[in-house]
Amino acid sequence: MGSPLSLLVVGLDARTAEDAWRVASDDIEGSETTMSRFRPASELSRLCLLPGRALSVSPRLYRALAAARRAWRVTDGAFDPRVRSDLDRLGYAGAAVGDPVGVAAVEDRRSRPWLSAEPRSLQVAIAEPVDLGGIGKGLALRWAWHALVRSTPGIVGALLDAGGDMMLGGLPARGDRWEIRIDDPMAPGRPLAAVQMGGGAISTSSSTMNRWAAADGSVVHHLIDPRTGSPADRGILQVTVAGPDPAWTEVWCKVLYLAGAGHVEAEARRRGLAAWWVERDGTLRMTPLARLATRWTTRD
């Protein structure tokens, strides 16, 4: 899903560790062949060729679409997988898609349902092509983590990392808590803060990492505001969220990024989130829950 994948395990011999890697990477590959917007043969790409038509899908894709619909509802449309058309238009194109059916204007997206689903038959119909993006990567991490834990007896601790989105649990090699570094978006590779976690998930969304020149020459990024169809620019460079589940930490990163510098703290507190964000001038801010988990920052 456009990210390097790594697995750190504690308490296993080399052969068992290789088996654990195979389980996790194979499960991630299963999610890739199901949800990738870049693979023409993925199940999601085939579905997006036929918007408006009811089709039977795999349990994995059904669960992913249902999770995306729930996130769309819970966030009042701040998370919306229909930004796929906007990404394609801006030059971040995936596999070919079909013509939308009865698509509403961008400003009407929040109130227009985009998914019809029948759980017993696993039949779904989408109103227009969708991109599962961050929530898809979060779900892939969730499912690979569960497969890893089920199949690997004797594992003391593990950390599964997909391009900075992580799922972790058990004990690290030293100490009783994992230490996760948050990079400075203004200097990738340089740590900005260290977070201590006993387990769960942590995700980061940044507008500084995935940027390109659009057809009109403007520099754009992949964090699209579904209300405008354009890359958001509200005074924030990066958001990190820690929580129990990687799909939801991904969703909340996007929601907080779209809230903007003036409203991100109130939104994070309202949601009860441990969140860190970097404003346009490089200032690092965090919620009280995040401060409790923060061991140090370079701004101290």
Same domain, 189 and 293: yes
The most distant pair of C-alpha atoms in the chain lies apart, rounded to whole Å, by 56
Report the domain count for the chain.
Answer: 2
Same domain, 200 and 287: yes
The last residue of one of the domains, among 131, 165, 185, is 131
Return the CATH number at 273: 3.10.520.10
Q: Is residue 138 part of a domain?
A: no
Same domain, 126 and 50: yes
**What pLDDT, on a 0 to 100 scale, did the predictor assign at position 46?**
95
Rounded to whole angstroms, the Cα distance separating 217 from 220 reads 9
For residue 284, what are the domain limits? 177-297
Same domain, 116 and 199: no
Same domain, 89 and 184: no
Least confident of 1-5, 158-162, 170-174, 280-284: 1-5
In terms of DSSP bridges, do strands 165-170 and 157-162 run parallel, antiparallel, or are they unpaired? antiparallel
Reply yes or no on whether the pLDDT at 296 is more than 90.
yes
Give the CA count within 13 Å in the CB-facing half-sphere of 235: 10
Q: Is residue 154 part of a domain?
A: no
**What pLDDT, on a 0 to 100 scale, did the predictor assign at position 112?**
84
Rounded to whole angstroms, the Cα distance separating 204 from 250 reads 7
Rounded to whole angstroms, the Cα distance separating 101 from 125 reads 11
Burial of 56 (0-12, 13-18, 19+ CB in 10 A): exposed
pTM of the model: 0.94
Q: Is residue 150 part of a domain?
A: no
Q: Is residue 261 part of a domain?
A: yes
Q: Is residue 250 part of a domain?
A: yes
Same domain, 190 and 252: yes
Tokens 């003036």 sit on residue: 262
Q: Using one digit for the tens of pLDDT, what is the confidence trace for 78-135?
A: 999 999 989 998 998 888 887 776 555 565 666 788 999 999 999 999 999 999 989 9
Same domain, 293 and 181: yes
Same domain, 276 and 187: yes
Give the CA count within 13 Å in the CB-facing half-sphere of 151: 17
Q: Is residue 69 part of a domain?
A: yes
Same domain, 78 and 183: no
Share of the chain above pLDDT 70, in %: 96
Rounded to whole angstroms, the Cα distance separating 211 from 99 reads 27
Average pLDDT, the chain: 93
Q: Using one digit for the tens of pLDDT, what is the confidence trace for 8-54?
A: 999 999 999 999 999 999 999 999 999 999 999 999 999 999 999 99
Q: Please name which of 241, 280, 220 lies closest in space to residue 79, comparing C-alpha atoms.
A: 241
**What pLDDT, on a 0 to 100 scale, did the predictor assign at position 93?**
85
Rounded to whole angstroms, the Cα distance separating 95 from 270 reads 38
The last residue of one of the domains, among 106, 131, 156, is 131
Q: Is residue 86 part of a domain?
A: yes
Same domain, 187 and 285: yes
**What pLDDT, on a 0 to 100 scale, did the predictor assign at position 3?**
85
Structure token digits, residue 80: 């919306």
Q: Is residue 115 part of a domain?
A: yes
Same domain, 49 and 114: yes
Rounded to whole angstroms, the Cα distance separating 201 from 250 reads 9
**What pLDDT, on a 0 to 100 scale, did the predictor assign at position 2?**
75
**What pLDDT, on a 0 to 100 scale, did the predictor assign at position 96?**
86
The last residue of one of the domains, among 113, 131, 149, is 131
Return the CATH number at 78: 1.10.3980.10
Same domain, 124 and 212: no
Spatial contact of 139 and 31, defined as CB atoms under 8 Å apart = yes
Which pairs with CB-CB distance under 8 Å and at least 24 residues apart come from 289-298?
290/195, 290/242, 293/195, 293/196, 293/197, 293/242, 294/193, 294/194, 294/195, 294/196, 295/179, 295/194, 295/195, 295/196, 296/193, 296/194, 297/192, 297/193, 297/194, 298/184, 298/190, 298/191, 298/192, 298/193
**What pLDDT, on a 0 to 100 scale, did the predictor assign at position 109?**
65
Sheet with 115-118, side-by-side order of all strands: 55-56, 123-126, 115-118
Give the mean model confidence (pLDDT) for residues 208-237: 91
Higher-confidence position of 113 and 238: 238
The length of the chain is 300
